[in-house]
Amino acid sequence: MRRVWQGHRGGIGGPTFDSGTIEWLWVKPSMNRKTVELVITSESFAAWAAEGTSSLGGIGLRQIAGLHILCGEERSPDCDTEWAGSVATGLRPKALALHRCRPDDQRFVDRVGGYFAGLGCRVVADHVILGVPSVHDRLRGHLPTFDASIQTVAGQASGPGIVRRVVVPLWPETVASVFDLWYLLVERGLPFLVTLGRVERFAKDRWYLAMEFLENLAWHSATPLPERERYLGLRASMERGCPGVLDRTPRYVLVAGEQRVLDQAIEEGFVSPLPGSVPLSWRLRWRARPLKLDKLGGAFLGVAQLISLTSGGRERAQRGGRSLTSPRVLVIGWYGTETAGDKAILGGLLQGMLADLPGLRGSVASSLPFYTRQTLEELGLSNRFDVVPLSPKALKPLVQTYDLVLVGGGPLMDLVEMFDLLRILAHAWRHGLPTGLAGCGIGPAKWSLIRRVIGEMVARSSGTVVRDLASRDQLADWKVPVAGVQTGRDPALSYVGGMPDSRVGASGGRPTVGMAIRDWPWKFGRQLGRPLFEARRAQLVGLWANAADWCIEDLGGSVQLIPMLTLHIGGDDRWIQAEVVAAMRSSGSVMQHVSSYSAADIFGMISRSDLVVAMRYHSVLFSAAACVPFVAIDYTHGGKIAAFMKELGMSQWLLDLESLSGERLREVCHSLWEQRETVRAELEVRRPVLMEASLISSAMAVSLLREPPNA
């Protein structure tokens, strides 16, 4: 047990003793010494109950606030009605969890759980499932089969007051495919809890996958409130490098019974936290978060910053000397929420700068630091760039340690977080640091205040490169001076364009159609009104499912569903893609990618497709860079996707989601398939121009680092 608790508050200690069948006891010290939680095997519990022992090592039964009973690898022992005796009358836990239950443990669960439920105790019976059937049945060992466990939780009646639920331990072997099980449990409406197991076996990439999964779980609408807080806490402890197992409350945790068995069960993630009540503060906090009330303070400060800048308050300071051999850059933007395209933007900017400045070092500011650290690992740049929180307050004392502050790509649009970017940029400008907007898109921005924020960001930037002509025209329409604004291309193109398999082309044999589809956000369909938008949105799963079916049937090939985003912020693409698979007739010919992927992984999927239905902006760009014929689906009502297709000269392959029909999509895809070689050749011709323009942003940043101070 010393290994399990190592690194957590309080360490290990406490008395050991020998009392009948109870062989040993570990006490986990903490601040609260009045109550404890007890973990015991079902065999030891039955023997203890039969003995009628009234205390454990001097700890009275009334002090045991929570009870964990670990069922055996075989059927648990029977407990007749006389088992209660003096133990039952003295034991009054607030919560009881029966772990690793089996279908044939029904009698034990009903008798023991039913008794404590009758005392007002919250009782749960946990059934361990490791993954979808193929995964679970391969790894289950002594656990019941997948079907047996699911049937027990879903169909077998429990005793009164007993809640049956699924416990899903995240293992290194299962974390990459756990989304499939998550989707299944949510769709069936089965209660479940995720734990962490085999912690010491996690490699770094699987560690990041586990943190991302816990972050997504915490913010999913189907996750109960107590579990949301627990998942966020567990993810945060993983980020610090010390994930807790039973450390949910600041109480003692007592572990009693056979040490080897319990040690292994805790290590495997079979022993889950006890059910608890929901404090009012949690309820209020979770109601406030979707409204972004926590951002109001930053918004007020941002407005004050905007007023100060427009009124000419505080002059710009003179910049001091800097290192030309090892310059430092701070990149800010929408990192911490990055899609595969955002990862490629960061890779394109940093690699482009490193090509001219090999000694470059710096930081990336992120709203979710662990996620951006994963991105830097994927890009192979974690040894040169660290991650700092995207917080004006935290960055204020650090800004002067950099030689350049860069807003690195992404859209400047109607988001309250724009005020944070303005405050950081303005602070750097006032201290005489060069600042830049590198490869950003402009809009949509319907709020006049945000338009003013964008105008001030352009005015305070030493260099500005926008990613398309439409963005430059948008600035001009807002009366923002554009004389010094350069037009380039998205830096993501330079990153994926340099990959060795960037033009793999047709796969040969059976054709593969890639579908990079996403959900349709309300902010891009407001013009329809809420009732019509929701009706249209509800039709899309069926539309995509039919499209995938006829791609398979008409072309005699297969379909792969490509998730450009796997984080809850911005809409995890895997959910709608799973719904599409469930609605298909030919789901056996579909590959749904359900893990989390690097920009290189996603680009490889697109490159190995023969035709792509591209919905997210960067799926369109990746397809163009790979010279794969594609149909672009414009969900932005004439926004960035339409602008790119117009400038590319390929608007005939653009379809508007608002009016899209299955017949029209089928007609265009068939036409594109017939002309695929011609379209591929056209993309080959346009590709060098796109690649060259995508380097303009990093070249601008390098020029700012090389120019004399306050030039």
Q: Which two tokens stand for residue 648?
A: 């590319």
Closest CA relative to residue 695, chosen from 486, 475, 413, 504: 486
Rounded (5°) CA angle 627-633-635: 140
Q: What is the distance between the alpha carbons of residues 21 and 25, in angstroms, rounded to a whole number?
A: 12
Residues 120 and 171 in one domain: yes
Number of domains in the chain: 3
What is the pLDDT at residue 711?
52
14 close to 43: Cβ distance less than 8 angstroms: no
Q: Are 407 and 436 in contact (CB under 8 A)?
A: yes
Q: Are residues 484 and 512 in the same domain?
A: no
Pair 117, 250 in one domain: yes
CB-neighbour burial class of residue 643 (10 A; exposed 0-12, middle 13-18, buried 19+): buried
Q: Where are the alpha helices (DSSP H) in 431-572?
A: 448-459, 469-477, 492-497, 530-555
Three-state secondary structure call for residue 556: coil
DSSP 8-state assignment for residue 109: I
With respect to residue 396, please indicate whether it lies within any of the assigned structural domains. yes
Residue 486 is assigned to a structural domain of this protein: yes
Contact 257, 41 (CB under 8 A): yes
CB 72 within 8 A of CB 142: no
**Integer Cα distance of 310 and 545 in angstroms:** 52
Whether residues 159 and 302 share a domain: the answer is no
Q: The pTM is what?
A: 0.90
DSSP 471-484: HHHHHHHTT---TT
CA distances from 140 to 48, 255, 569 (A): 30, 24, 33
**H/E element, 44:** helix 42-51
Q: Residues with Cβ < 8 Å from 562, sequence gap 6 or more?
A: 514, 515, 516, 593, 602, 605, 606, 619
Residue 14: the pLDDT is: 33
Q: Does residue 234 sit in the same domain as residue 118?
A: yes
Residues 255, 223 share a domain: yes
Residues 69 and 149 in one domain: yes
Please check whether residues 265 and 379 belong to one and the same domain. Answer: no
For helices 418-430 and 296-310, what crossing angle results, to 10°? 40
Q: Any idea what DSSP says for residue 111?
A: I
The whole domain housing 318 covers 298-496+696-706
Number of helices followed by number of strands (H, E) in the chain: 28, 23
Q: Are residues 148 and 261 in the same domain?
A: yes
Q: Does residue 687 lie within any of the structural domains?
A: no
Tell me the mean pLDDT per 10 residues along the chain, length 711: 26 32 39 67 77 61 83 72 52 88 87 85 94 95 93 72 93 96 95 92 94 95 88 88 52 56 86 75 67 62 68 60 78 95 97 96 96 96 96 92 94 90 92 95 91 94 96 96 95 92 55 97 89 93 96 94 96 97 94 96 96 98 97 91 95 95 96 97 96 97 83 52
691 belongs to a structural domain: no
Query: Which of 40, 127, 130 has the alpha carbon at shortest distance from 91?
Result: 40
Residue 252 has φ and ψ, to the nearest 5°, of: -60, 150
| Most distant CA pair in the chain, distance | 89
**Of the candidates 229, 248, 283, which is a domain's last residue?**
283
Residue with token string 């009782």: 123
| C-beta separation of 8 from 244 below 8 A | yes
Q: C-alpha dihedral over 702, 708, 709, 711, to 10 degrees?
A: -100
Contacts of 533 (CB under 8 A, 6+ apart): 522, 525, 526
Work out the angle between the directed axes of helices 599-607 and 340-356 (0-180°, nearest 10): 110
The Cβ-side half-sphere exposure at 473, using a 13 Å CA radius, reads 6
Residue 305 lies in a domain: yes
Which residue bears the tokens 């945060």?
A: 236
Task: State the Cα angle at 576 between 669 and 497, rounded to 5°.
Answer: 60
In a domain, 554, yes or no: yes
Same domain, 316 and 167: no
d(CA 66, CA 216): 28
Q: Which of 283, 318, 339 is the last residue of a domain?
A: 283
- 405 touches 332 (CB < 8 A): yes
β pairing state of 251-256 and 192-196: unpaired
CA of 66: how far to CAs of 56, 128, 195, in Å? 14, 20, 18
- The domain boundary residue, chosen from 283, 307, 322: 283
Per-residue H/E/C for 291-321: HCHHHHHHHHHHHHHHHHHHCCCCCCCCCCC
Q: Concatenated DSSP letters for 532-552?
A: HHHHHHHHHHHHHHHHHHHHH
d(CA 625, CA 503): 8
pLDDT at 597: 97
Dihedral sign of CA atoms 355, 565, 422, 692 in order: positive
Q: Tell me the C-alpha to C-alpha distance, in Å, between residue 342 and each of 439, 441, 554, 613.
A: 11, 12, 34, 20
Whether residue 292 is contained in a domain is answered as no
Q: At what angle do helices 448-459 and 418-430 cross, to 10 degrees?
A: 30
| Cβ-contact 192, 168 below 8 angstroms | yes
Q: Assess whether 524 and 489 both reside in one domain.
A: no
- Output the pLDDT for position 22: 36
Q: Do 509 and 486 share a structural domain?
A: no
Provide the token pair at 193.
């809890």
Least Cα distance to 66 among 332, 296, 252 occurs for 252
By DSSP bridging, strand 162-170 and strand 328-332 are unpaired
CATH of the domain at 553: 3.40.50.2000
Q: Are 592 and 577 in contact (CB under 8 A)?
A: yes
- Going by C-alpha positions, the residue among 142, 212, 152, 150 that lies closest to residue 185 is 150
Is residue 289 situated within a structural domain? Answer: no
